[in-house]
Structure formats: C-alpha cells, structure tokens
Amino acid sequence: MNQDYPELQQFLAAYFNQDWVDDHETANDVIDLFISESNLETKTKVQLELDKLILSKKTEQELKDYLFEDIGCYYYYCNEWKDGRTWLKHIASALKHSKL
C-alpha cells in the first residue's frame, strides 16, 4: 500500500486496473463510476490526496513513473492529456463538482 496516497492508490489501481478498457468506453466513465459508488468521505480523501500530488515537485517523468509503477494505474493518460497534472486536475474537478 502506498503510504503517501493510500486512498488515491485504491482509486487508481482498483478503477483503472488492467481490464478497465474492457468494462468502460472512456476514462471519464471510470471516474463517474467511482463518484457514484463512493461516499463523501472517500471522495474527499481522494481529492485531498490528488491536490497534494498535483502540488508535489515531481517532474512529468517522475509523476508518470509514480502513477504507473508505484500506484498501479493502467490508464495511459498521455494519449489524451498534455501531462499528468492536467489529468489529475480533471479528476479533482470532477470530484469537487460531485459534492455539490
């Protein structure tokens, strides 16, 4: 388990597992599923950890390595987003809007 981002790891590794493309058409569908299945406390914890990771001093390569190797995320955001921070901000925004 990732000590710095345990809730974020649970989300990204579980929902963006190696088979996510078999069950969902888009990454946004996965994010929407997480939002619909998670309680407010879990979403808040993930959002806080996302904010922490976004503000970290990791380079793009370090962020990529971290998400794919350490966290276990199988969504290759590089095909759709200019960088990891932009994708993480997108997720954080979706979580914030889900709490309204």
| Span 58-69, pLDDT tens digits | 999 999 999 999
| Span 86-97, pLDDT tens digits | 999 999 999 998
- How far from chain centre, in Å, is Cα 8? 6
Q: Say if residues 93 and 31 touch (Cβ distance below 8 Å).
A: no
Instruction: Please give the share of the chain, as a percent, with pLDDT higher than 90.
Output: 91
Q: Give me the pLDDT at residue 2, please.
A: 58
In b/e form, how buried is each residue of 48-80, taking b as 16+ CB within 10 angstroms?
A: ebbeebbeeebeeeebbebbbeebbbbbebeee
Dihedral of the CA atoms 71, 54, 41, 17 (nearest 10)? Answer: -30
Collapsing DSSP to helix, strand or coil, 54 comes out as helix
